[in-house]
Structure 1
Amino acid sequence: MEREDDRVPTTTKLTTQVAIVGGGPAGQLLSHLLRLSGIDSVVLELRDRDYTIQRVRAGVLEHGAVELLREVGLGERLDREGQEHHGINLQFDGERHNVSFHDLIGRSVWVYGQQEVIKDLMQAHDAAGTPARYSVSDVRVEDILSDTPVVYFTQDGQDYELRGDFVVGSDGAHGVCRPTIPAEHKKTYRRDYPFGWLGILAHVRPSTEELIYSLHERGFAMHSMRSEKVSRLYLQVDPHDDIANWSDERIWSELDTRLGIPGWTLHHGEIFDKSITPMHSFVSDPMRYGRLFLAGDSAHIVPPTGAKGLNLAIADAAYLHEALTDWYRDGSETGLDEYSPRSLRRVWQIQHFSSWMTRMLHRFDESAEGGHPENVDYDYHVQLGQLRLLTSSERAMSHLAEVYTGLPMLTRQR
């Protein structure tokens, strides 16, 4: 909760305990968790409220993420409207193989869009009287090595100075917080992939009960869903392609080809959203500098194949909440010191899993990267061999199930 000083200069001065830059899932969830622990925070978001709600993003929640959301009062609508999934389908060489998480390890995942999680968080903040400040601009972070870091921003033409004990940068890959860390005090790791995902949303009931991941000679394809009436589908494409080149008819034809198997029909419907997203992996190390902490996409990006971006953001928020709670409760800095290495251990494990899934299920054209075109078919048949080994081994499928449904999200409170 913010508190204005008695003086009202040209720049309005505000104070809080934790200033959070970025109103995505990491920032909003951290603020919610802090409020439940009696710790004040202010969330600043560049976009307006409607954009934040309507932006379509990832939609698979791990087992542990769902448990956490339920524990902190955010599970009611998820349980009512979300879709529990007990496994996935891996498709290759014209055959579809089911990997049953429920049978293998007794866990599941939930299809529930990131924007739906954001809606639940907004509703909780509105009810508590702690909504984020939206449509802010000219954000800059200073004094992060001091005991009172400051965030300057403008909203509705008014300049503000927000001081707190800590600043959390959850403002995404293109935010202002990560660049605040001097270059000599951080190291970044990046891997760009030679393809992107063409994603669509269509008003049509899903054609499958479980998600389908398909490796086809023409490239990767995926069938997901958002509700009983809306399907989410993807195609591997050139990341530099123009979406205007992809008519609805061409999209459905390509999806029919890459997802089709005998005796199964892909339902077609009205496409109401389509876009092409390049794919890359990214990690910034460390996730802390002075009193500034990074969380979510501001610190790491994973390709969407493993459905991990949203879940990593949730884990960051849970870990950082625990560290801040320890500091405010008894002055312990152990959790603050452990936050970056602890989160990065999880991040690199998930980077491995997401890269593994991506390399196993996409066609890699080495000629586009200066390699030899004749290697492409060889690599494709290696991928087929890998998928056959995976789907013929219960132990291998159990490992996939364990990581896909989520690494343990252990905290000292839970």
Structure 2
Amino acid sequence: MSSMIVAAEVILTSPSRNFVTLKVTTDDGVVGWGDATLNGRELAVASYLKDHLAPLLIGRDAQRVEDTWQYFYRGVYWRRGPVTMAAIGAVDLALWDIKGKLAGQPVYQLLGGAVRMRILAYTHASGWDTPELLDSVDEKLDRGFLAVRAQSGVPGLDTVYGVHHGEVSYEPAGRGKRPVEETWDTAAYLRHAPTMLAAVREHVGPEIALLHDAHHRLTPNQAARLGKALEPVDLFWLEDVTPAENQEVLRRVREQTTTPLAIGEVFNTIWDCKDLITGQYIDYIRTCVMHAGGISHARRIFDLAALYQVGAAPHGPSDVSPITLAASLHLGLATPNFAIQEFMGYEPIDDEVFRHDYTYKSGYLHPGDAPGLGVELDEKLAARYPYNPAYLPVARKRDGTMTDW
């Protein structure tokens, strides 16, 4: 029995930050919700959806999820990239949401059912100095988290990725017409990070999973050096040690350290991830479910990863909406090699705008059992918070040259 798409609408809202949402409606009145948020480039994806994909959705059978994915990916000459794949991902999530609602089942049941009872979550702890960081870690542990990503300031630098002076929450995108420019010093970071993380490990003991993000700042040799220095800390993973567009560079890092490596949050297709996985350069693939074209494509990436004992651990901080988080959880509950889910949580106003069925308890997440993805947008409330331009920072070395943020 078909369910024809009669409307596709793009909604921009900015309760605590900017989100791009796709609303797909069928002729029998079922609504599916998709997320298309691309931090700092939201309007590009909104236009791609509104001007190019939404008109082509009208009249299509909402039940044909895979065919629609193929239509929008293979049916166009210009493929891949974060804007295209986020837009396709929004469509895919909305159609899975509709399929679940029509079936009266949560999406994870349509993916084969649960292979685990719950999903391990990690959250972010940060502090400008080590004592402040340890206080932040303690606060996360008090909330029941069993896995924590630790980031701190670096002596001699005024700004550092993942940390704000004296602020509990972290949102890197700054409001305004231009990005903030930060100054970066790799040598200072490499001197500080091992000592800082060793202090965190000593503070929390051996049982808590610790994670750390280098955010693409290092050369392969520097990354290998850091990985070796952190082996005694026993990290759950060291994330994004070097830009991986040239995936062969990860070979040197992998050969020099046994510290687990995670990478891939800026990748968008299975072809971006293929060599990292098949070359066994990494331990965890971080591709975001929505930025990789939705559930339909992300599950293929995770299936490939399973063949090489690489864990699935999708990007999922608060710069994607609760719709993407829910999709990650449904996919994670049904994916054998799913390892952990990033979970910063959202501001209270975001949770009001995006009413959700997923839950967090004692270090674990569950997507809930509502039909579909289990997230509904309150359109009237969302309309009170119009889009507000914001950009992620850019970074320069001390001599003024651009570097990776």
**Shared fold by TM > 0.5?**
no
Give the TM-score category using the shorter length: under 0.3
Task: Tell which has more relative contact order, 1 or 2 (C-alpha 8 A, sep 6+).
Answer: 2
Length-normalised TM-score, structure 2:
0.27
Tell which structure's C-alpha radius of gyration is larger. Answer: 1
Q: Give the structure with the larger strand fraction.
A: 1
Length-normalised TM-score, structure 1:
0.27
